[in-house]
Structure 1
Amino acid sequence: MSLILNIETSTKNCSVAIAKNGETVLCREIAEEGYSHAEKLHVFIEEIMAEAGVSFTELTAIAVGQGPGSYTGLRIGVSAAKGLCFALDIPLIAIDTLQTLASQAKVADGKIIPMLDARRMEVYSEIFDAQLQVERGIEAEIISEDSFKDISETVYFVGDCAEKGKTVLTKDNFVFLEEIKYPSAREMSKISFDKYQKSDTVDVAYFEPYYLKDFMMTTSSKK
């Protein structure tokens, strides 16, 4: 039996879930504009463990969203996950934040493109098929009317970029699932269990979040 604590803090959503054999038992989360992760994360962990009736010594692994995303949010989540792994001497599992986000889109066909806001018209994105197989890895890009134009299938966009994305991504086959805004630890349960079974873990001492910071050189203005 595996009991995995899943932590996702890459965005405004501070999210924690306890999972048994890949099934979410309990999830607690809150998305606030002010990024309350520092105040809420450890409280949520304590509360969810108590409510689930699970002791920390029963955990078999900790899974954490590795990014890309908010620098501060990632630091808080990864620091907490690494601290628990050190204290409990259990493995650390790193989960692609964009995969977690894409997992919320339950579609039969087409492409799923999770996008997280970076700044201005810049986003972090990845392309998955309907079975959540990666078709293009994580990129940081400036979205425009030419973005993803070569995809003829229905494209389902998820993430917190709907408002600005809809201004330029206007092809008829583009669909914004606006209700899916942030990654959630609830969706990490199956992914982390699959990785745990394969012993797909990371080195607790040396693991760092995938910040993807300062990715784009801007065009200089005319002199």
Structure 2
Amino acid sequence: MALILNIETATKNCSVGLSKNGEVLFVKEIAEQNFSHAEKLHVFIEEVFAETNLKLSDLSAIAVSQGPGSYTGLRIGVSAVKGLCYALSVPLIAVDTLEVIARKINVDNGIIVPMIDARRMEVFSAFFDANFNKIRETKAEVIDALSYKDISDAIHLVGDGAMKLKDVLTDSKFHFYPELEFPSATEMAVIAQQKFEKNEFEDVAYFEPFYLKDFVLITKK
């Protein structure tokens, strides 16, 4: 039996879930305009164990959304997971945040393009096929009316980065899903289980989030 704690903090959604053999047992999450991950994360962890009558010592592994996404959110999630993995002597599993978003939708054909808002008209994005295989690498890209003009397949856009593009990407091949905005621990469960079965674990001491872009601190002159 694989009991995995799944933690997603890469966006505005602070999401914590427990899964057993890839099946979700319980998820606690909240998406707020102002990031509340620092205040909510450890409370949510306690609540999911209380709801399932399980203990931290029962865990087989802990999975964390590795990014790309919010610098602050990723730091909070990864720091918490590394501390727990070290204390409990359980392996750490890193999950691609964009794949988590892609798995929020099921399509028969076309390309799934999960997008995370990266300010202005820029997004963090990747391409996945209908079976959630990544077919284009993760990029930080600025979107305009000519983006994806060479693709004739249906393009399914999901994530908070997609919603700001409805007035830009107007061709009928683009499909938007406003209810599928943030990644969640719910969709992490299957990915984490697959990685657990393959022993795809990270080095707890040296693992770092995938920021994609360097963090720049701007100060007033």
Question: 2: CA distance between counterparts of 1:84 and 1:193?
Answer: 18
Other-structure match for 1:61? 61
Identical residues among aligned pairs (%): 59
Question: 2: CA distance between counterparts of 1:115 and 1:147?
Answer: 13
Other-structure match for 2:179? 179
Give the AA of the match of 2:15: S
* 1:196-207 equivalence runs, <5 A: 196-207=196-207
**Which deviations, in whole Å up to 9, do the C-alpha atoms of 1:22-58 show, x marking residues without a partner?**
0000000000011000000000000101111111111
* 1:1-223 equivalence runs, <5 A: 1-214=1-214
From the superposition, tell whether residues 163 and 194 of structure 1 become closer, same or farther in structure 2 (CA, over 3 Å): closer
**Which deviations, in whole Å up to 9, do the C-alpha atoms of 1:34-83 show, x marking residues without a partner?**
10000000000001011111111110000000000000000000011101
Shift of 1:214: 4.2
Question: 1: CA distance between counterparts of 2:98 and 2:162?
Answer: 15
Question: 1: CA distance between counterparts of 2:13 and 2:207?
Answer: 22
Shift of 1:178: 1.1
Question: 1: CA distance between counterparts of 2:181 and 2:191?
Answer: 19
Question: 1: CA distance between counterparts of 2:152 and 2:13?
Answer: 32
Question: 1: CA distance between counterparts of 2:163 and 2:48?
Answer: 33
Shift of 1:153: 1.1
What are structure 2's unaligned runs of at least 5 residues?
A: 216-221
What are structure 1's unaligned runs of at least 5 residues?
A: 216-223
**Which deviations, in whole Å up to 9, do the C-alpha atoms of 1:158-215 show, x marking residues without a partner?**
0002342112111111001111000000000000000000000110000000111249
Question: 1: CA distance between counterparts of 2:177 and 2:108?
Answer: 14
Over the aligned positions, Cα root-mean-square deviation in angstroms equals 1.0
**Count of aligned pairs between the two proteins:** 215
Question: 2: CA distance between counterparts of 1:119 and 1:194?
Answer: 33
SS in 1 for 2:118: strand
